[in-house]
Amino acid sequence: MARQLQPGPSPTSVLTARGVARGLRQLLPISLFVVPFGLAFGIAATEQGLGALQATVMSVLVFTAVAQFAALEFLTEPVAYVSLGLVVLALSARNIILGATLARWINPLPPGKRLLTLAFLTDANFSVAHSDLQRGETDLGPFLGGGIALWTAWVAGTALGAYGDLIGNAEAFGVSAAMPCFFAATVVGTLRSTSGLMVPVACAIAVSALTYPVLPTGWNIILAALVGGALSLLTNDK
Amino acid sequence: MISELSYGLALGVMIVVVLGTRIAGAVFMSWFTPSPGIERFLEGLAASVIAALVASFLVTNDVKLTAAVVCAILTMLATRNVVWAMLIGMLAAALHPHLVQL
């Protein structure tokens, strides 16, 4: 994966309302695909014992599909806060790379706008906006607008799933399988797009399964992630 | 079922961690340039933690879930579409009891 991390000369960036509107329109089609995920999360969260409002508020304030799904596993008394934090951190670590890649356009903005823009950082609006920025675009509005479109769809989907009585018996819809199926598909997608991760991921799976019976809640996943991360440092795909 | 307090604390942990990762990259870049090694480590970490979660689910759950995950993986390989993979996996889980009874 050859993302440009070198800072280079900082372009003069702007954040315009017109750009935000363009981003909203640009990411609207992709956002529609986010609604079913939100729906699945809303149902899964209420199945886990969260209130409909609690599930929706989580989507409003956290806005990250994978880590929110994963967090549900930890929302039982007593809550293993350290494991929860570490798993969420490992699942969100990609954001650090995305943010670093956008830094040369985002850092010239005033602090308030910088924070606002980064709060809506996700894979989808990053990949759309980054290619435009590399072609000379200086407006971060489309990036922010895209993020707002995705956030709206995620929150709307969650609320629909959490409040919707239309669902009836959630188990009849295979809701408990939504999260593992989504995760498995994500891994397959990553393995296809990024070379050199097959061995680290296979080892992570083995470590997770083998250490599950002996480690406290969530620590098998953290150990497996660290093993996978360390092994991906050693693998050379060139 | 968890208490309001536990929910609030857990939510706080999630907000701080996720927002922290969103901001961290740009902040770090104003200090130093991350090496390709750090980039590879974070990529490996992100893929491994998801795979580890799936493995954790499969060792603690039943055949139904394994069947659903296998269907999702096959759908992903065929369509390259995460939404379809998730929906087909859910469908497999929903239909599984009926198929076993046949």
Three-class SS state of A139: strand
A198 near B CB under 8 A: no
Question: For residue B57, which of A69, A188, A194, A65 has the smallest C-alpha distance?
Answer: A69
Point out the residue among A54, A181, A192 whose CB comes nearest to the CB of B86. Answer: A181
B76 contacts A189? CB cut-off 8 A: yes
A residues 125-144 lying closer than 8 A (beta carbon) to B: none
Distance (Å, whole) CA A114 – CA A15: 9
A33 contacts B13? CB cut-off 8 A: no
Tens of pLDDT, residue by residue over A120-177, are: 999 888 877 887 887 888 999 999 999 999 999 999 999 999 998 655 566 667 777 8
Average pLDDT, chain A: 86
Tens of pLDDT, residue by residue over B7-39, are: 999 999 999 999 999 999 899 888 877 678 877
A115 contacts B24? CB cut-off 8 A: no
B34 near A CB under 8 A: yes
Three-class SS state of A219: helix
| pLDDT the model gives residue A171 | 63
Checking if the pLDDT of A210 tops 60, the result is yes
Q: Concatenated DSSP letters for chain B?
A: ---HHHHHHHHHHHHHHHHHHHHHHHHHHTT-PPPHHHHHHHHHHHHHHHHHHHHHHHHHS-HHHHHHHHHHHHHHHHH--HHHHHHHHHHHHHHHHHHHH-
Alpha-helix residue ranges (DSSP H) falling in chain A: 17-47, 52-61, 65-72, 81-92, 94-106, 111-119, 123-134, 141-163, 178-193, 198-211, 219-234
Query: What pTM value is reported for the model?
Result: 0.76
pLDDT, mean of residues A82-106: 88
* Least Cα separation, residue A14 to chain B (angstroms): 16
A228 near B CB under 8 A: yes
A95 near B CB under 8 A: yes
